[in-house]
Every structure is written in structure tokens, then in C-alpha cells.
Structure 1
Amino acid sequence: MSALGQTEAWNDFRADDEPFGPFLRVVLTPAGTGRIHLKLPVRLPKENAEPVAPMKWLRNAAVSVMGMDGQLKTSRDAEGAVPDDEEPVEGAVYYFVAVSAAPHPLEFAVDMEMARARSHLSGSDASSRPRREERLKNELVSRHIHCCLTDVPSNICNPVHIIPFHKGDEWLQLLVESRPRSYDPNLEDLTELDTINDIRNAFFASPNVHAYLGNLQLVIIKTPNGILSTTDIPRDNRILTPDVEFPSDVRFTAQWIKGTNADRAVVPNNSDMSFAKGNGGQLSNPSPLLLEYMFGVALVKHWGYGQDFLGPEHRTNVRRPVSAPLDPTLKRKMREQKAAARGGRTAEGMSQLEAEELVYRLWCASAEGVERRKAAIAEEEAHENFRLDRLMQWRERTLHNNASEDRQSR
């Protein structure tokens, strides 16, 4: 354990965590700045990575929350990173240190004119939801045949949105803009990922699997991803039905972030997602960027501390989208989550709304996220200036024509 870990009190005790211990800590932000850290069960990197890669799994976890590449060290001024195969131990404290210069997330600010909210796009209009979801379900049946993690038949399965439907198109687009994931050599094409019902924002699952994915106890990790290779993740020996197969060059693996043994009976840990035989990439796979975002959100929701960062004194002027129209059930769920957030930490940790907001802000505060958002906002401003110029030209022509008509009438 580092000197800081030995001497500093950690305000992160919750009785409901104890069955999942022992724990280690990954400190994500520098001390003295409203430090954000993950208090993770030691079992997570042990169970979710091969013996050669537990520290790579922890590094991938930190990157998913922070939105920038970095190293894990035993202290911030340590010369080298922790070896990939070092075994995690109870009480250890690791520090995430960015490998490139970036604005500190607690100090980052944007000019006020850059903070204008974009108008809400109509792609997630509640009136079009049934038609869009029916089309999405048909696409997913073609891609997966049945539940992508079990063999439950398609007639009782439903689409599972990676970014929840109620977040709306604009939220998804802001995430796409937030960073280019430059540490991943296999970058996906995000140019047309602009609607919440895109097949890249969904997979097909049974109701039980859907429930655990929805509350982020179960997450999907895509490999390779620039940090983890396909061989860094253990494989569950799932026997497939004849109509589906595992892709040969990529894995989408379900991992438990917080679940009891009874929970885990629904889906064995490290189960890979299956796809229809012969699909051959005809239908796009789930988006690695969106999966990574929700992985970061899950870690923060269940194991994150330092939520004081969410206070008004620390909030960066990042654009915040208008929420999509909600049906009554979703409205009630959102009210319950907001009430839990006002009351402090829930039994599960941060509320999901808090976690989504925090990870989005951290992504936006990365150097790459800043540059991408500046470029996007500059493009919007250029479009707005062009519109205003055209409006002024029209007004001048109208005034000139009216003046001419007045002179002629005299």
C-alpha cells in the first residue's frame, strides 16, 4: 500500500459493500481537487482478466471512466507503471496518471458562448417509438437469432439499448463527439451514429439478462480495444446452437460488475455474445465507444466515490441536451432516481443519473474531447452566423424594396 493509502482516511464505507470485499482503490484525479476514486472488489480484475492481465483490466476501467489514456502507478511520481500481470491485493492503492497533457477535469472550463445547448433533435419523438423499435427488433433478430448471451428464443427477447432510450438522440450524439478514442488502433466509423435506435446502440436479450444490463450490474466489454486483447479476457465454455457463432476476430464479453452468486446464475461471467451464422458483418456490431461509456458509468455507479465533483462549483460549461419525451413509466423511474440523488448515495452507490453525468463530464474534459467539442461548436457557430447573414440580407432587401415602393407611390 502507498504512503497515502496508509495515512489518509477514505470516506467510502458502506455496509452494503462488505459482502463483495476485500477491496482495492484506483485514484483517478489528483489529491486536493475533490478526488474521484473507485473502491473495487479485488475479485473484479482477478475474475475478469487472465492472470497475465489484471492490471490491464484495471487500466481499461480507469480509461473508461476518465476518457483518456493513462498508466497505473503505485504513486503519482513513480517512475514506471504497475506490471500488467501484478496480482491485485487487498488494500492496494493505484493511481491513474494520464500519458498526455490534458486539462484537469476539475479545473477545465469552456467560454460561455461555447456552452449553448443544442436544440433537441426529433429522432426520439415518442410518437415514432413503436415503429422505430419494431424495425430495430427485426434487425436484432437477424443479427442474433435469439438472446445474444443465452439461447432463450427470440419471441420472449427484446432490444436492449446500450445508451437508454430515454436519453434521446442528442445525448448519444454528444457522447460520439466527446472523444476519438485515439488509443484504440481500430477506430470505428461514427459519422452516422446519430439516433438512439441505431442497431449499434443495441443488442438482443431475454428479460432476465435485460434487467441486469439495465441496472449496470452486468456490462459488455469489447476486445480488442487498444488496451485489452481478446486473449486477456477469460472465456466461458458456452455451447452454441447450430444457427449462431462467435466472431473470429472480436469478442463482446459480459462481465459482472456487481452481482451475487444468485445473480450470476442468469449469465455465467465472461460469456461471449453470439451472432447469426453467416452474418459476416452485414449488420453492424454494438458500438465500442458506447459500450465503453456504459462500462465507465457502471463502475462509477456501483463503486465510485468523490461525487462532490458534481457540485455547482465544479461543473464545467459543457453542453447538456434536452431530454427526450418520456412515457409515464420512465418519468416515474427518473423521479425516483432524482430523489435518490438528492438524498445522497443510494444502496447501490451513486445514482445512475449522477454516474452518467460524471463520466460524460470527464470525457469532455479530456484534451481530445475538448478539441472535438470546440470543432463541433465552431461548425455550429459558422452555420448560425451564415443564417444570420442571410437574414440580415433579406431584411435589407425588404427595407430597400419597401422604400422604393413608397417613392413610386408618391
Structure 2
Amino acid sequence: MSASESVLPGHIRLILVPNPSFYLEIPLNVIKRLCLKPRKYLVFLGWCIFGDEAELRENQGGQATSLDGDLDDESVYYFVRPAGGGLSHAIDLDVIKQRTGVRSATTVTRHNFRNALLLRDFCCAWTGTPESNGEGMHIIPYARGSEWLHLIVQNRPGNAHVANINDINDIRNGVFSAVAINRSFDRRRLAILKTPNTILSKTDIPKSPKRPVPAPKDVAFSTKFRYTLQWLAEPHATELNMICPHNADAAFGKNHKKPMPSDLLVHYHYGAAAVERWGHGADALHRPDLPRPPSPLPVPMGPTKTIHDRTTTIQKRAEASGAGAAGAGNVAAGEASGSGQIRDSEEKGQARWDADDVMLYFWGNSQAAMERHRKKQEEIAQNMEQWRQGVPSLSI
């Protein structure tokens, strides 16, 4: 589908990359139930996906539009990044995926992950479902592994100090939830909106509904932040009644000393869920005018692979997850209800990208991440030069 084609009735289109376009096509009724400030919500989505702040415009070369007011049915909006924030000098995804160091294998078991979450959350954070009917829910999927978590942290768009989140079973990568919530979250029908954040305030989100059963006495709602569970997919009535209502806020254990779910990972998941559910035109990211930079210089000394170095595993896993996507173009493997049409490039030999690949590509090309990439390349070049100068010349 071309971005120039008509927008579906009852939807709006958010252009993230123009000419050719990568964009989100989102049902208006979904936006209205998720956020009281629909235009700010579009900026929030762009910020989650790119990691950079930008302006919302009604035409690419126009002025920034007001973030107050409603969205117009069948209209097109542009998420315009600041000068220098485009993709004309984008870093290729293969480079972004390259490891920056050897990480240890997962050291915390899923059983210990569950128990650690219970010390903080006590029960399902959104429904109060007791321990016996709940489980530890990973924000970054467990199947992605600690390596992918490390890639997210290393390519983060901001400068938050999260470098010590290395394990997929770190409790900052989880919340204790009812089993049914976990299943819908893994399918990215549900996502967590943490407020306040850079774009949205707590009051920009509809109030949390009153729980049919009062929260246990051991937990409390925070007055400083909200972890709001939102249906990005259109839920069935039974899902609202039996799994979770719209915009339910999480409550956590009283007086705990455990770290809370990571803002970075929550925002990543929200962006990936939006791309998976509403994204169109991933082939636009394989544009021939986007230069492929040369591969990084190799580390001059030491083995290329150690026991826990699983670089190849990451790449194969990403390709396999993309290859498992539905043939019609839906990113979520086995998910029939999503409207997103992320498609693989028709270019021969081009591997299919899934929503996580798209997210990592954009995050790795944010201004902050590109600066880190640049510094890393300079360090590698300096190390190589120092190594060369230290090698004695051989006389013949």
C-alpha cells in the first residue's frame, strides 16, 4: 500500500518516514479510548518508536500543528524530526546488531524471576489476581533472550543509566500478572503506558476504572506515576470482563525496596506493539539511497567468540521470527486480528524485518545512539592504530 492511497474510513495515518513511506494507520476510536489528547498521543508514539522528540505536522513542510484538539477522520499527519534527525546517514541494522562486548548467559531463572516479582508486586498488578493464578510477565519477551535485551540497552535513544540491565529475568523487565494478561501482552494486544513521560502527563490518560474487587491491603496505587495497561487491539467484551478493562492502573506492594519496571523497556515495548499492530511499509526502510556503512573494524586481539558469545544466535533468531510472520504481511506470527501490514522487501535476498527489527533500527539511529556509535567506532580505530604501532616491523 502506498502512502498516497486513501486513508481507511475511521482511521488516521501517521507518516514516520516519507517518500517512500513507513507509517502507522490507526483506528480513531482506539486512539480516543487510549488518550485524552489524541494529537499528543501521536507524538508519544513517534517518540517511543524513534526515541527522539519531534513536531506533529499536517503536511511535511508546514508548521507544527497544535497538540490540542481532535484528529480529523481519514487525515494524514507527519512526525517530523529536527534537522539532522533523518535517515540520510542511517546506520545499517546489521551494524546495530553487532555485539559491543561479551555478555554472560542468563543467570536468574524464571522461577527466581517470578519470586522476585512477587516480593515487589505481591499479586497481579492490575487485577489483584492472587499468586496461584498468576505468573511473571516479561516486558521484553523471554524468547528474545538476554542478548536482545542487551542490544536494546546498548542502542537506547536516550542517555538513561541502564547499562546494568543485562538479564532477561531482571525484575525491571517484568511485572507479575494474571496468566491471561501475560498471554495478551506477549501477543502485543496489550501494552503498558508509563506516565508521566517526556510527552504525556498522568492526566492525559483516562482514569483507571474502579476494580470490581478491592485491591489487596498489601498493595497501593502510586501518586507519582501510572503504569496503565492498554488494549491496542480491539478487545472482545469477554476480554474486557475476564482479562482486564481499558486503562487499568497497576498497584504495587507497599514499602517495597525493589526496582520498578524500566521506563526504557516499557516504552520500547509500547513502540514495538504499535509498529506490529498498525505499521505499514517496512520495505521503505530498505531504500537504496540509505548508505550501508562499512563493517566495524575488528578488535585487534583476542578470540572472535567465547562460550557465551551468541551473536550469530541473535541474527538467526531475528530472521526466524520474521520468517514466521503471516504470509499476508502481518508481523505477529499466528496473530490474525492485527491491522499492521509490515512487509518484507521484494529485493532479492532481503530478510524480512519484524517489529523488533524496526524498533532497533530506529532506536539505533536516534541522535544519542548515533553519537554513541560514532564514539565506539573512534575507540575501535584508536585501539587498532595503537596495536599497529606496537607491532615491531620485520626486516627482510
TM-score interval, normalised by the smaller of the two chains: 0.7 to 0.9
Cα distance in 1, alignment partners of residues 120 and 95 from structure 2: 43
Q: Provide the identity percentage.
A: 27
Q: What is the aligned partner in structure 1 of residue 240 from structure 2?
A: 264
Q: What is the aligned partner in structure 2 of residue 372 from structure 1?
A: 372
**Counterpart secondary structure, 1:28:** strand
In structure 2, the CA distance between the partners of 1:76 and 1:356, relative to structure 1 (3 Å rule), is: same
Q: What is the aligned partner in structure 1 of residue 313 from structure 2?
A: 323
Q: What is the aligned partner in structure 2 of residue 295 from structure 1?
A: 270
Q: TM-score, normalised by structure 2?
A: 0.79
In structure 2, the CA distance between the partners of 1:65 and 1:321, relative to structure 1 (3 Å rule), is: farther
Q: What is the aligned partner in structure 2 of residue 363 from structure 1?
A: 363
Contact 1:341/1:350 (<8 A) preserved: no
Contact 2:321/2:354 (<8 A) preserved: no
Map 1:87-106 → 2, pairs under 5 A: 87-102=70-85, 104-105=86-87
- The residue type equivalent to 1:365 in the other structure is N
1:243-272 Cα offsets, whole Å, 9 max, x none, are 111111111111111132333331111111
Contact 2:184/2:190 (<8 A) preserved: yes
1:341-363 Cα offsets, whole Å, 9 max, x none, are 66633643357961110111011
Q: What is the aligned partner in structure 2 of residue 185 from structure 1?
A: none
Contact 1:316/1:361 (<8 A) preserved: no
Q: What is the aligned partner in structure 2 of residue 220 from structure 1?
A: 192
In structure 2, the CA distance between the partners of 1:112 and 1:203, relative to structure 1 (3 Å rule), is: closer
Please state how far the C-alpha of 1:304 moved relative to its aligned partner: 0.5
**Counterpart secondary structure, 2:17:** coil
1:110-155 Cα offsets, whole Å, 9 max, x none, are 699998545663323xxx5xx5222221210011100111111112
Find out whether 1:245 has 2:220 as its counterpart: yes
Q: What is the aligned partner in structure 1 of residue 38 from structure 2?
A: 54
Cα distance in 2, alignment partners of residues 345 and 107 from structure 1: 29
- The residue type equivalent to 2:5 in the other structure is A
Contact 2:281/2:341 (<8 A) preserved: no
| Structure 1 alignment gaps of length 5 or more | 14-20, 183-187, 400-410
**Counterpart secondary structure, 1:62:** helix
Q: What is the aligned partner in structure 2 of residue 354 from structure 1?
A: 354
1:198-234 Cα offsets, whole Å, 9 max, x none, are 1111111111000111011100011111110111111
Task: Give 1:190's match in structure 2, choosing from 137, 156, 162.
Answer: 162
Map 1:175-214 → 2, pairs under 5 A: 175-181=152-158, 188-214=160-186
Cα distance in 2, alignment partners of residues 36 and 371 from structure 1: 24
Task: Give 2:49's match in structure 1, choosing from 42, 53, 65.
Answer: 65
Find out whether 1:255 has 2:240 as its counterpart: no
Q: What is the aligned partner in structure 1 of residue 284 from structure 2?
A: 309
Find out whether 1:344 has 2:329 as its counterpart: yes
In structure 2, the CA distance between the partners of 1:248 and 1:112, relative to structure 1 (3 Å rule), is: closer
In structure 2, the CA distance between the partners of 1:58 and 1:122, relative to structure 1 (3 Å rule), is: same
Cα distance in 1, alignment partners of residues 370 and 48 from structure 2: 17
In structure 2, the CA distance between the partners of 1:86 and 1:35, relative to structure 1 (3 Å rule), is: same
Cα distance in 1, alignment partners of residues 190 and 93 from structure 2: 38
In structure 2, the CA distance between the partners of 1:380 and 1:86, relative to structure 1 (3 Å rule), is: same
Cα distance in 2, alignment partners of residues 309 and 195 from structure 1: 33
Query: Which has the higher mean CA deviation after the structures are superposed, 83-92 or 206-215?
Result: 83-92
Please state how far the C-alpha of 1:303 moved relative to its aligned partner: 0.6
**Counterpart secondary structure, 1:122:** coil
Query: Which has the higher mean CA deviation after the structures are superposed, 34-43 or 109-118?
Result: 109-118
Please state how far the C-alpha of 1:49 moved relative to its aligned partner: 1.5
Task: Give 2:25's match in structure 1, choosing from 28, 39, 54.
Answer: 39
Cα distance in 2, alignment partners of residues 106 and 147 from structure 1: 45
Find out whether 1:9 has 2:10 as its counterpart: no
| Structure 2 alignment gaps of length 5 or more | 297-309, 343-351
List structure 1 segments (4+ residues) > 6 angstroms apart after TM superposition: 110-115, 383-386
Cα distance in 2, alignment partners of residues 28 and 345 from structure 1: 19
- The residue type equivalent to 2:275 in the other structure is V
Q: What is the aligned partner in structure 1 of residue 68 from structure 2?
A: 85
In structure 2, the CA distance between the partners of 1:217 and 1:381, relative to structure 1 (3 Å rule), is: farther
Contact 2:13/2:26 (<8 A) preserved: yes
Equivalent pairs counted in the alignment come to 358
Structure whose alpha-carbon radius of gyration is higher: 1
Please state how far the C-alpha of 1:371 moved relative to its aligned partner: 0.6
Please state how far the C-alpha of 1:86 moved relative to its aligned partner: 1.1
* Structure with greater helix percent: 1
Please state how far the C-alpha of 1:156 moved relative to its aligned partner: 2.5
Cα distance in 1, alignment partners of residues 215 and 268 from structure 2: 29
Cα distance in 1, alignment partners of residues 66 and 92 from structure 2: 37
In structure 2, the CA distance between the partners of 1:381 and 1:293, relative to structure 1 (3 Å rule), is: farther
1:267-296 Cα offsets, whole Å, 9 max, x none, are 1111111100112xx111111111111111
Q: What is the aligned partner in structure 2 of residue 406 from structure 1?
A: none
Please state how far the C-alpha of 1:335 moved relative to its aligned partner: 5.1
Task: Give 2:113's match in structure 1, choosing from 136, 153, 159.
Answer: 136
Cα distance in 2, alignment partners of residues 248 and 242 from structure 1: 16
1:335-391 Cα offsets, whole Å, 9 max, x none, are 5752336663364335796111011101111222101223345456666777x5799
Cα distance in 2, alignment partners of residues 54 and 191 from structure 1: 33
Cα distance in 1, alignment partners of residues 314 and 283 from structure 2: 27
Alpha carbon RMSD of aligned pairs, Å?
A: 3.5
Contact 2:157/2:366 (<8 A) preserved: no
Q: What is the aligned partner in structure 1 of residue 204 from structure 2?
A: 232
In structure 2, the CA distance between the partners of 1:113 and 1:256, relative to structure 1 (3 Å rule), is: closer
Q: What is the aligned partner in structure 2 of residue 154 from structure 1?
A: 131
Contact 1:144/1:204 (<8 A) preserved: yes
